[in-house]
Structure 1
Amino acid sequence: MDNPQPLEEEAYDMSGARLALTLCVTKAREGSEEDLAALDDMYQQLLFESIMKIDPTAQEFQQELVKFQQTMDARTDPISCAFVVLMAHGNEGFLKGEDGKMVMLEDLFEVLNNKNCLALRAKPKVFIIQACRGEQKDPGETVGGEDIVLITTDHPHTIPTYTDALHVYSTVEGHIAYRHDEKGSSFIQTLVKILIEKKGPILELLTEVTRQLAEKELVQEGQVRKTNPEIQSTLRKRLYLQ
């Protein structure tokens, strides 16, 4: 049998500017200030230029993303990547603004895709979403093994509209996202800790985030709950932040 060929180790060029936008609803979301503080520390450590907007309405979620896109496209210096952190109450596919109205996540993602944001064309766009995706609660299951998924990608001459994006949800579809009133959310706190302290491609680091969260036992209303993030990636290359 022929020896398998190793995967190419091509990585995104991270020598340009790193930009971050955080939109966070704090209303009725105790502990979100701790998440904002942790994110601010991460941005400083990883050399991101950061913008934070607190308590955006549903319309302002969209407006701030468009403003972020327009600012990037107007710059003359090279941009390497963008982080967008969205924190709010939500449901599957939607976030709730400070005004109680809903905005579609897909509409927000569209603003920075390869068609609509020239500055980020073929460059990584990382979306971190700390929000509920439904009302289901996971009590956990007993298992004895792991599933391994191998993802391979092609390198076409033209670029698909939706490549180079990474969407990291705090919980899986249909489920609650947990947040401690004083310590913040386990997802954001664990994510920040791993991205600051560990080195490696971001998908490997996110696997470590998933592992650590899967080992935690969260107690809600006296019941033990389990939670894990969901990672959706169309990245074509390895993304290193350190």
Structure 2
Amino acid sequence: MSSEEMVYDMSGARLALTLCITKGREGAEPDIAALERMYRALRFESTVKRDPPAQGFRDEVVHFREEMEKRTDPISCCFVVLMAHGKEGRLLGADGQVVELEELYDVLTNKTCRALLGKSKVFILQACRGDQKDTGEMLRTEQVLTTMFQELPKIPTFTDTLHVYPTVEGYIAYRNVKKGSCFIQTLVDVFITGKSNILDLLTEVTRRMTEAELVWEGQVRKVNPEIYSTLRKQLYLQ
């Protein structure tokens, strides 16, 4: 395989959709502003929707897909950023009702969105995944995991997707009411300045977040993002 075949072609359009609950989520606006700055720096066409109801989350993602399907120019990549209160696998809309994350993910797969067939689809979440709080542990050991990928003549339905969560399952995602969330602010800073592929950039995001000490309810908390990737190639944003 040539080096070109190992990297996603980013010469086409780059599209971004941000769905954000701002009501009862002080600090959401600084996160939106940071994301918009990142989109401009990385040449993404951006759409922002504030305070959608639960059904509105799915409707907006479906509309996002429909607009992509209408385009005649090639699309290289999409970002979908979802910011709301939540529990594991669920988000709360502005109406207090629940939307399942899997319902949103299923709208943009290789099967359901032909415009993004074989193209990179990045989902970024800023929402709690539970109520647990991490106070941290003394560093003892470090493990390095490697994953081998093998291309097939047909690509599976759920490849070329990246899910980035602000915390691990069951834990709180912290947000400063004035400065925004540690996760979004760190991610934007790394994505704007970094030149590596996106998984290396996310490793840097993780490193910075693990070094940060967040004060919550008078106590120091620790937090790290969690990343699920089915990307088949390297994805460079710069």
Fold shared by both chains (TM-score > 0.5) = yes
TM range (shorter): over 0.9
Return 5+ residue gaps in structure 2 as ranges: none
Q: Distance in 2 between matches of 1:240 and 1:157?
A: 24
From 113, 119, 123, give the equivalent of 1:123.
119
From 23, 26, 29, give the equivalent of 1:27.
23
Aligned to 2:7: 11
Q: Distance in 2 between matches of 1:73 and 1:79?
A: 10
**One-letter code of the match for 2:40?**
Q
From 153, 158, 163, give the equivalent of 1:167.
163
Question: Equivalent residues in 2 for 1:125-144 (5 A)?
Answer: 125-144=121-140
Query: 2:14 matched to 1:56?
Result: no
* TM-score, normalised via structure 1 length: 0.96
Question: Equivalent residues in 2 for 1:141-220 (5 A)?
Answer: 141-220=137-216
**What's the secondary structure of 1:111's corresponding residue?**
coil
Write the deviation string for residues 21-41 of structure 1: whole angstroms up to 9, x where unpaired: 000000100010000000000
Aligned to 1:103: 99
Aligned to 2:67: 71
What's the CA shift for 1:8? 9.3
* TM-score, normalised via structure 2 length: 0.98
What's the CA shift for 1:145? 2.7
From 221, 225, 230, give the equivalent of 1:229.
225
Return closer, same or farther for 1:205/1:13 CA change in 2, 3 Å cut-off.
same
Write the deviation string for residues 123-168 of structure 1: whole angstroms up to 9, x where unpaired: 1000000000000000000113321111111111101000000000
What's the CA shift for 1:9? 7.4
CA contact (8 A) 1:9 1:238 kept: no
Query: 2:34 matched to 1:38?
Result: yes
Q: Distance in 1 between matches of 2:158 and 2:145?
A: 21
Return 5+ residue gaps in structure 1 as ranges: 1-6
Identity of aligned residues (%): 63
Write the deviation string for residues 182-206 of structure 1: whole angstroms up to 9, x where unpaired: 0000000000000000101000000
Q: Distance in 2 between matches of 1:114 and 1:186?
A: 32
**One-letter code of the match for 2:75?**
I
Equivalent residue pairs, number: 236
